[in-house]
């Protein structure tokens, strides 16, 4: 290697070229950490590319190689280059995420007692066997094969992942597997299930690990000592030696998208990593993202289906309850009340789902219509009963509830809508003998609170569990025979193109919590939109029908999965300045569009639907473009050269999850 391109850690957008002096030429390798001169001092950098020649004259020389063993494997290096391109992210930012942090001296490791492998032999169902046959073949052939495992809740998807990994490790004991699960499902139960299935310890990776433990776990994965890595989003960067299989469980889950830069989606990254390592990748869900199912339609992903629950347990019956022109302020219709009462008397359990925290959602002045909003953010304040305070869910601002209207001095302040706190109070009042527990961000904040509530629920010490979307995911309690959705319209009415998709996913997932045992189960959905296709499809547990309806709507508007969205966000404290920044950027793109004859849509600059967060004004520009449009090269150019070098003037979000 004669010339190399080097990246520096941090928000350094560009790569820099160096010459390799003759005595280092035989030793130098991609991914190594090196010392190079940079602006009159020596600096650590990472070799990202090799060049056979350089266009630049008078290049500086590499000073030394820090470690002969590359810090980044070849596949991670490829992955980082792909991410930098696809997400318009500075390479240094991606490296900072992929490289293990410094070694820390003191370590308190997870206690590992010897793991007793599970004894009970499982007879796979016909559907499981059929899918695994195809997966085994691809594993044997060592070839990149992406699968969507579409299986209703409780249909034995996890068992398919386990069997696939077993097969991989049987035919090639050197291989390793990465299993991604949504942040919230990374409970001791999940880990235990895997460890017992394999009779060996696994590596666990998530964002709450201390740097020391994280480093230790990375080393175990890197050395190949542990072969199974389970983790949340960032585990996809685990430095495994020889990747054979990647699993993304609940692939539609929004926790796979990173909110801060680089704003990657772990599902997309997982597919690319599998591609670069000729691995099999299994995306599993009962409610896949439209993006993934589109790939199936295009023939790019293979489809495996599990259509029935294990033991032929029936999917729960779903009833839609029209709230019609109901004036009552109660959250619970007489019908739902009656059904809950039955469960309570029979000693069965219920889950009530309301996707809104707090007590009343909004305080509004009856005389002038004034809505009490956060001073820093353009969202309504929410009343929280324990603190007797109005709270902002975006910035934490709080104030005492108003006596009168600050605008018209009127005294008729009305409280609208309700959250889980109000629901809890109501349920306790309606069912005084029942044990009621709220399960949301507030009640699970303390250490171990989440585990404690789930254990109590499992031990039937709780009759009615009330929660936000935390109750929709993964809970597996056979004694739950009723799930009530208090208001299906909350999510449906959001001004966002994914509102229906997200609602369908939530409803289907929460419905899946019912009837997991021999007693069966029932789901009641309360709504003012009883004929909406989203609710109908959720009622029928029919993902494919939902896909048809929803993709019709998306394709008409030219939204994903039929196009790619790039969202640019401009923020600042002065409205004028923010607008000017956004406008300038928008003009650059307009001009490119005129000169290039490229077809794509530019929306904005416009104030974001949530116009202000933490005192910062927000403006958006949204691009809707065909896949691999030349405008992406242009954007990369202006972002890297002009925008990223100055301090975070614009936030870029490729494939944003929402446009709020
Ligand atoms: P999913 O991941 O689709 O929700 P799981 O794999 O967790 O489904 O399976 C649900 C339950 O059924 C689990 O308790 C699991 O151990 C059990 N199970 C899965 N496959 C089988 C099978 N072939 N025979 C018996 N039980 C099974
Ligand atoms: Zn606020």
pLDDT digits (tens, 9 = 90+) for 328-387: 678 899 999 999 999 999 999 999 999 877 777 777 887 877 888 888 777 778 888 778
The whole-number average pLDDT for the span 451-480 is 88
What's the pLDDT at 286?
A: 93
Q: Tell me: pLDDT of 647 over 60.
A: no
Each residue's pLDDT tens digit, 83-99: 999 999 888 889 888 88
Each residue's pLDDT tens digit, 131-142: 999 999 999 999
Helical segments of 354-498, H only:
420-430, 449-458, 489-492
Residue 153 near ligand 1, beta carbon < 6 Å = yes
Residue 418 near ligand 1, beta carbon < 6 Å = no
Residue 308 near ligand 1, beta carbon < 6 Å = no
Residue 285 near ligand 1, beta carbon < 6 Å = no
Q: 310 alpha carbon to ligand 1 midpoint, in Å?
A: 6
State the chain's mean pLDDT as an integer.
Answer: 88
Residue 358 near ligand 1, beta carbon < 6 Å = no
C-alpha span between 326 and 157 (Å, rounded): 41
Q: 618 alpha carbon to ligand 2 midpoint, in Å?
A: 13
pTM of the model: 0.88
Q: 309 alpha carbon to ligand 1 midpoint, in Å?
A: 8
Q: Are 237 and 209 in contact (CB under 8 A)?
A: no
Ligand nearest to the CA of 311: 1
Residue 257 near ligand 1, beta carbon < 6 Å = no
Q: Tell me: pLDDT of 642 over 80.
A: no
Residues within 5 A (CB) of ion ligand 2 = 374, 376-377, 392, 394-395, 397
Instruction: Specify the ligand 1 atom closest to the Cα of 151.
Output: 3
Give the residue carrying structure tokens 């670069």.
276
Question: Which residue is closest in CA terms to ligand 1's atom 25?
Answer: 122
646 pLDDT band (50/70/90 cuts)? low
Residue 159 near ligand 1, beta carbon < 6 Å = yes
Residue 184 near ligand 1, beta carbon < 6 Å = no
CB atoms within 10 A of CB 207: 13
C-alpha span between 322 and 526 (Å, rounded): 6
Q: 329 alpha carbon to ligand 2 midpoint, in Å?
A: 27
Each residue's pLDDT tens digit, 471-508: 777 678 889 999 999 988 888 877 788 989 999 999 99
Residue 128 near ligand 1, beta carbon < 6 Å = yes
Each residue's pLDDT tens digit, 118-157: 767 789 999 999 999 999 999 999 999 999 999 987 889 9
Each residue's pLDDT tens digit, 251-304: 999 999 999 989 999 999 999 999 999 999 999 999 999 999 999 999 999 999
Question: Which residue is closest in CA terms to ligand 1's atom 6?
Answer: 156
The whole-number average pLDDT for the span 523-536 is 92
Residue 151 near ligand 1, beta carbon < 6 Å = yes
Each residue's pLDDT tens digit, 567-620: 999 999 888 989 999 999 999 999 999 999 888 999 888 888 788 888 888 899
CB atoms within 10 A of CB 439: 24
Question: Which residue is closest in CA terms to ligand 1's atom 18?
Answer: 156
Question: What token pair was written down for 320?
Answer: 């839609």
For residue 641, what is the DSSP state? I
Which of 128, 151, 155, 156 has most ligand 1 atoms within 8 Å of CB, for mutation?
156
For residue 640, what is the DSSP state? I
Which of 127, 153, 158 has most ligand 1 atoms within 8 Å of CB, for mutation?
158
103 pLDDT band (50/70/90 cuts)? low
Instruction: Specify the ligand 1 atom closest to the Cα of 128.
Output: 23
Instruction: Specify the ligand 1 atom closest to the Cα of 249.
Output: 2
Residue 122 near ligand 1, beta carbon < 6 Å = yes
Beta-carbon contacts of residue 87 (< 8 Å; ≥ 6 apart): 262, 263, 264, 652, 654
Question: Which residue is closest in CA terms to ligand 1's atom 17?
Answer: 156
Q: Which residue has the higher pLDDT, 640 or 481?
A: 481
Residue 156 near ligand 1, beta carbon < 6 Å = yes
**Rg value, the chain, Cα:** 27
Q: CA end-to-end span of the chain, whole Å? A: 48
Please count the helices (runs of H) and the strands (runs of E) in the chain.
17, 27
What's the pLDDT at 385?
A: 76
Give the residue carrying structure tokens 């005595």.
23
DSSP string for 216-283: HHHHHHHTTS--EEEESGGGGG---SSEEEEEEETTT-GGGB-SSSS--BHHHHHHHHHHHTT-EEEE
Q: State the pairing for strand pair 389-391/464-467.
A: unpaired
């Amino acid at each position: 290697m004669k010339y190399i391109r080097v990246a520096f850690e941090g928000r350094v957008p560009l790569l820099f070229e160096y010459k390799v002096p003759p005595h280092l030429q035989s030793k130098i390798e991609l991914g190594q950490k090196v010392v190079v001169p940079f602006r009159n001092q020596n600096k650590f950098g990472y070799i990202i590319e090799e060049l056979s020649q350089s266009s630049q004259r008078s290049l500086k020389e590499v000073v030394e190689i820090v470690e002969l063993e590359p810090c980044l494997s070849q596949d991670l290096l490829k992955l980082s280059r792909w991410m930098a391109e696809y997400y318009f992210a500075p390479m240094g930012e991606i490296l900072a995420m992929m490289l293990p942090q410094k070694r820390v001296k003191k370590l308190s490791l997870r206690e590992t007692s010897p793991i007793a492998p599970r004894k009970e032999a499982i007879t796979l169902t016909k559907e499981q066997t059929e899918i695994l046959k195809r997966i085994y073949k691809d594993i044997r052939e060592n070839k990149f094969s992406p699968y969507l495992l579409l299986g209703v809740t409780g249909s034995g998807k996890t068992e398919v992942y386990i069997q696939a990994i077993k097969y991989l490790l049987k035919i090639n004991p050197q291989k390793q597997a990465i299993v991604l699960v949504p942040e919230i499902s990374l409970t001791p139960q999940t880990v235990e299930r895997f460890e017992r299935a394999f009779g060996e310890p696994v590596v666990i990776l998530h964002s709450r690990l201390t740097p020391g433990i994280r480093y230790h776990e990375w080393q175990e994965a890197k050395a190949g000592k542990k072969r199974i890595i389970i983790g949340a989003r960032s585990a996809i960067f685990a430095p495994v030696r020889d990747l054979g299989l990647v699993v993304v469980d609940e692939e539609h889950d929004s926790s796979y998208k990173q909110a801060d830069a680089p704003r990657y989606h772990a599902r997309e990254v997982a597919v690319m990593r599998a591609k670069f390592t000729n691995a099999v990748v299994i995306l599993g869900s009962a409610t896949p993202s439209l993006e993934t199912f589109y790939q199936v339609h295009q023939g790019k992903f293979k489809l495996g289906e599990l259509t029935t629950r294990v033991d032929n347990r029936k999917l729960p019956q779903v009833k839609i309850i029209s709230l019609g022109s109901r004036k009552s302020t109660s959250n619970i219709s007489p019908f739902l009340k009656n059904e809950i009462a039955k469960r309570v008397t029979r000693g069965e359990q219920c889950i009530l789902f309301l996707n809104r925290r707090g007590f009343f959602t909004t305080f509004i002045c009856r005389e002038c219509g004034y809505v009490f909003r956060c001073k820093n953010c353009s969202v309504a304040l929410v009343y929280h009963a324990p603190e007797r305070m109005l709270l902002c869910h975006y910035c934490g601002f709080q104030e005492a509830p108003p006596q009168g209207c600050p605008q018209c001095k009127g005294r008729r302040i009305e409280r609208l809508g309700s959250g889980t706190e109000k629901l809890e109070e109501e349920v306790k009042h309606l069912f005084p003998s029942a044990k009621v527990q709220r399960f949301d961000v507030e009640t699970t904040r303390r250490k171990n609170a989440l585990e404690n509530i789930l254990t109590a629920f499992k031990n039937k010490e709780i009759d009615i569990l009330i929660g936000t979307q935390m109750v929709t995911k993964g809970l597996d309690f056979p004694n739950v025979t009723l799930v009530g959705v208090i208001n299906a319209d909350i999510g449906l009415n959001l001004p966002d193109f994914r509102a229906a998709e997200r609602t369908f996913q939530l409803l289907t997932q929460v419905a899946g919590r019912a009837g997991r045992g021999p007693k069966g189960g029932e789901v009641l959905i309360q709504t003012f939109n009883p004929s909406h296709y989203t609710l109908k499809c959720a009622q029928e547990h029919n993902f494919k029908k939902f896909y048809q309806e929803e993709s019709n709507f998306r394709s008409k508007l030219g939204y994903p999965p039929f196009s790619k969205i790039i969202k640019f966000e401009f923020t600042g404290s002065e409205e004028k300045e923010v607008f000017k920044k956004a406008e300038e950027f928008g003009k650059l793109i307009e001009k490119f569009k005129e000169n290039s004859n490229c077809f794509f849509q530019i929306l904005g600059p416009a104030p974001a639907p949530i116009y202000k967060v933490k005192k910062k004004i927000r403006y958006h520009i949204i691009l809707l473009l065909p896949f691999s449009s030349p405008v992406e090269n242009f954007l990369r150019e202006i972002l890297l050269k002009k925008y990223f070098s100055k301090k975070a003037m614009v936030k870029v979000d490729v494939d944003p999850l929402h446009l709020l």
